[in-house]
Structures are given as structure tokens and as C-alpha cells.
Structure 1
Amino acid sequence: MKQPHPTLVETVLHTKVHRMRPYRKNWCIETNQHKWIAKHVHPSWLHWWVQVDRELRARGFTAMQPIYTDGGEWLFMPFIEGKTGRYTIREDVEQMVETLAIFHRLGRGLMTPPADEAAFLLPERIAQRLNEFYRVLQQAERLPTPLRELLLAYGRDFYLDGLAAWERLRQMPLTRFSLKERRLHALTHRDLASHNWMIDCSGQIWLIDFETATYDAQIGDVWQMASRILVEHAWSEEWLQMFLSQYEKGRLLSSFEKKVLSLLLAFPNEFMREVIGLAEQKRGYQMKYSLPYLQKIAEGRNKWKYQLKQLFYW
């Protein structure tokens, strides 16, 4: 992992560096007065994000840390003393969902052009997830015992669920909609795991880790976050209604977006993502954490299917 040179850090932050240590996939830097996080990022993305960050702040979005850069490949932010958000706690979820809606509303129609012309948009990401899961499923017999048994018991059913959802989504003008959202410069985060929300010691909520951000269909963020929350709460109708109510305090969903969301929620993204992460030994996926989560999803499949039927009445 590339390390920033202390002289560079001191030049950017205008303070003396006392200690530098690895922190998750980044660096934690201790200086005279504060602690900082240093991230090594792609220069073209950094140039784009600095402009987007400036626009968002000018529009009034404050739930992200101030950033400093070397103008090249290093991004520096104050270290947040606090805790990660939790999708199991209602108070946290209410704040996070409302903050996401404000991020989306203020992040529409930005002046900053896209970082590049090639875009890996929502429909392509869904298709890739389905294809990756199919490849893993074909190799199930060669996987470690707990994962192999789980896939042999449930993998085919979840694949067929995903395939059926994808076929319904293909009948919608989702690709055209996603391209339109990109042309309209609709900002998305695209990695709304609970650890990308922080709550500091004063209770202030922060959205972090924007390296996956781009212009895309914002309903993809809504789906991603709703899926994770609903898995945690056994597909509770009450939690779904709360989620939608909190989101629409900050940004109203169109009727088309609601229809798309009902179809997206029929795609078993959480099950597929965790299986692929374990099977391919991706960083951040560990059997002791992911396997119980997968078992929880598998055991809740019938309730999930029942709740989906209610959504199609939107």
C-alpha cells in the first residue's frame, strides 16, 4: 500500500507529522493538533471530486468532511472520532436515509462534467452481478464446506430469483433512464454499506468514502441502502415505510422510480454480493461474518417473497 511522504503531508496540512500508521485501506496521520485520514486515489477522479465537493458545499450539503489534496493523487480528511452508523438502529437509519435524500437532491444538475465518457451504470452493474453469481454457482462443489453447502441448498433458487427480476427490469426503460440521469448529472454514491456512515461524538452524521461516486440513476443508491436495511429487519413492512417516508422528506421519488425500486428489491443483490465476495476471497469478506448474514437472508427468503408481492401494488 502506497504511503504518503511526510514532507508532502506537512506541506498540504501545514502542520508537523508525528505518526503515520495503516488504517483500514488508508493511512491515519497524527499531527500537532488533529488526526487525519490519507487516501491514495486516481488523479482524474480526484480532480473531478474536488469540483463536485465544492459545488455540493455551495448548495448547502454539509454532511461530508472537508477535504485537502496535493493536487495529484492524495486526499486528506479530518479523522472522525465516533462510531459507524448501524442499519439495526432506527434513529441512525432515519438520519442516514434523510441525509442520503438531501445528498441526492442537492447533487442533481451539477455543473461539473463527468470524470470520463465511459460509464458503468446501474443496469450494467446488475447484469455483471448476476453473471458473476452464475459463475460462482457453477463452481459450488469446489468451494469451502460451509459456503458450498449453503450454495447447494439455496444458490439455484436465488439465481432464478435474480434472473426473473432482471428480465422484468429489462422490460423497463432502465438503461435509457440511467443514461438520462447521467446526462443530467445526477450524483450517486454507489457504496452505501453502513461503515460508510459515521456518527461523531456530538451526534453529527457524516457520509464518507466517495471513491465510487459518479453520475448514475440515484434509485440505485436507494435500492442498495433499502436492501441492506430490510435484510437486517426481516423485510419488515414498517421499516420499508419508514425508509420511504424519511427519504421523501428530502427528495420525492417519481412513479417510475418507485416501480423500478419494486423490481430492484426483487433482485437478491445482498445474497449474491456476499457469496461472490467469499468465493473470490475479496478484501473485507470473512466467513465468520458473512456466513451468518447469508444464512439470515436464506432463512428469510419466504418472507422476502411475500413482501415483494405487496410492493407490486405501488
Structure 2
Amino acid sequence: MKRPRRELLERILHTEVRNITPYRRNWYIETAQMHWIAKRMHTGRLQWWCRVDNELRQRGFQAMLPICSDGQNWLLTPFIKGKSGKYSRLEDVKSMVKILAAFHQTGRELWTPPRKEAAFLLYQRVAERLARFYQVLRRVNKVEGDLGKLLVKVGKDFYLEGLRCWEKLERLPLKEFCYQEYERRCLAHRDLASHNWLIGEDRTIWLIDFETADYDCQAGDVWQMASRMLTENDWNEDCGEMFLNAYESVRPLSWLEKKIIATLFQFPNDFFREVVGLAEKKRNFYTQHSLPYLVKIIEHRDKWKEFCKGIVYW
């Protein structure tokens, strides 16, 4: 993890830097006035995001931490005392989803051109997740411990659920719609884990960590956040209704977006993500956290299916 140079930080912040210490794969920067978090990014992505960030603020979206940058490698944001969001706290979720809808509404048809790198759009990410899970399932006898036992018991069933969902998505114009959203420069966050919401001590809610943001199908964000929230709340229909109503109170969804989201709910994305993360020993995937979550998903499988049946008529 490369350490930022003190003199570079002082040029960016226009003040003396007193201390630089590691902080969650980033750097904690202390100055006399305030404290900052410094994050290293690829030059092309950093420059693109700085332009997008500026355009969003000019259009009125302010639920992002202010940024400073050298325009090459380092992005700095103020250090805010607070806590990560929790999708089990419904009073916070309602505010979060309205912020997401405002982020989407503001981030449509932006002027900033797409990055030169090839896009990795929603339909591609869903297909890859299904394929990666299948590869883990093919070598299930080599997966050790409780994860291996769990996959032997239910892995095939979850794979077939995912395959059936993918076949439904292929019958929808998902691929075409993703490219339309990309070409129209519609912004999606694409990593709406609960820790990417920050709630300050004054209860201000911030959407953070835009490293994966890109032009893409915004319905993917709605599905991702809603499915994580619903998993935390036992696939309660009232929670789902609250979520979707709160979103549409800010940005109404089109008929096709609703159809895509309703179909995506049938894709066991969280199950696939946690299994692949553990099996491939990815960073930030730990047995003590992921395995209980997988067990919870399995235990609420019937509730998940009932919810999916109901949402079809949304």
C-alpha cells in the first residue's frame, strides 16, 4: 500500500500535514484544521470521477463528501465521525433509498464522456457471477469444511434457481437496455453494501466509495440494495413495499425497469457472492461472517420465493 508523500498532500490541502497513518487500506491524514482520508486510485478513473462528482454537485446532488485531488493518483475526503449504515434499521433505509433515487435522478444524461475502458455492465456482471458459482460447484468435493457441506446440500438447487432467472433475463431486452443506459450516460453506484453508507454524528447520511461507479443500468442498484435490505429483514413484503415506494417518490421507474428488478429478485446473488468469495479466498470474505449469512439465506429461502411471487405483480 503506497504511502502518499507529505509534500504532495500539503500542496493538495494547502496546509501543514501533521501525521499520516494507515486506515482501512487507505491513509488517515491529520492537519491542524481537520482530518482526511486519502485513497489511491488509477489516474483515468480518478480524473473521470472528479468530473462526474463536479457535475453532480452542479446539478444539486450534495449527499457525497467533498473531495480534493492531485488529479493523478490521490483522492481525499474529510474524515467524518459516525457509523456505517445498517440495512436492518428501516428508519435509515428509507432515507438512504431516497438519496439513491436522487443520485440516479441527478446522474442521468451527464455531459462527462464514458471512460475509455470497456464497460462491465449489469448483464455481464450477473452472467459472470452465475458462471463463477458454477465453477465452484464443479469442484464442490474439494471445498473443505462447513462451506463444502453446505454446497453439497443446497448448491445445485441455488444454481438452478440462478440459471432459471438468467434465462428469464435473456428473454427480456436486458442487454440492450444496459447499453442504452450506458450510451445515455446514466450513472450507477454498483457497490451498495451497507458499509458504503456513512451516518454522521449529526445523523447526516452520506453515500460514499464510488470506485466502482460507472454508466450502467440504474435498476441494478435498486435490485442490489433492495435484496440486501430484504435479506436482513427476512424478505418481509412490507419492507419491500416501503423500499420501492420511497425510491419512486423521488424517481419513478419505467415498466421495463420494474420488470428487470422483479426478475433479478429471483437471482440468488448474495448467496453466490458469499460462496465465491469464501471459496476463492477473496479479500474481505471471512468464514465467521459469511457462513452465518449463508445459513440465514438458506433458512429464509421459502420467504424469498414467496416474496418473488408477489413482486411479479408489482
Answer whether TM exceeds 0.5 for this pair: yes
Q: Tell whether 2:159 aligns with 1:165.
A: no
Distance in 2, matches of 1:231 and 1:117, equals: 33
Q: Tell whether 2:218 aligns with 1:228.
A: no
- Give the aligned partner of residue 9 of structure 2: 9
Q: Which amino acid in the other structure matches residue 101 of structure 1?
A: A
Matches within 5 A, 1:1-314: 1-116=1-116, 118-314=118-314
Q: Which amino acid in the other structure matches residue 115 of structure 1?
A: R
Higher mean C-alpha deviation, range 116-125 or range 289-298? 116-125
- Secondary structure of residue in 2 paired with 1:250: coil
Question: Scaled by the length of structure 1, what TM-score is found?
Answer: 0.99
Q: Which amino acid in the other structure matches residue 98 of structure 2?
A: E
- Secondary structure of residue in 2 paired with 1:116: coil
- Secondary structure of residue in 2 paired with 1:199: strand
Higher mean C-alpha deviation, range 126-135 or range 139-148? 139-148
- Secondary structure of residue in 1 paired with 2:62: coil
- Secondary structure of residue in 2 paired with 1:150: helix
Q: Which amino acid in the other structure matches residue 186 of structure 2?
A: A
Shift of 1:249: 1.4
Residues 118-154 of structure 1: per-residue CA shift (max 9 Å, x gap): 1110110000000000011112222231111111111
Question: Scaled by the length of structure 2, what TM-score is found?
Answer: 0.99
Q: Which amino acid in the other structure matches residue 43 of structure 1?
A: T
Distance in 2, matches of 1:237 and 1:167, equals: 25
Q: Which amino acid in the other structure matches residue 246 of structure 1?
A: A
- Secondary structure of residue in 2 paired with 1:210: coil
Residues 150-173 of structure 1: per-residue CA shift (max 9 Å, x gap): 111111111000000000000000
Distance in 2, matches of 1:21 and 1:136, equals: 38
Higher mean C-alpha deviation, range 237-246 or range 9-18? 9-18
Distance in 1, matches of 2:302 and 2:103, equals: 34
Q: Which amino acid in the other structure matches residue 63 of structure 1?
A: A
Residues 227-279 of structure 1: per-residue CA shift (max 9 Å, x gap): 10010011100000000011011100111111111100000000000111111
Runs of 4+ in structure 1 off by over 3 angstroms are none
Higher mean C-alpha deviation, range 270-279 or range 24-33? 24-33
Unaligned runs of 5+ in 1: none
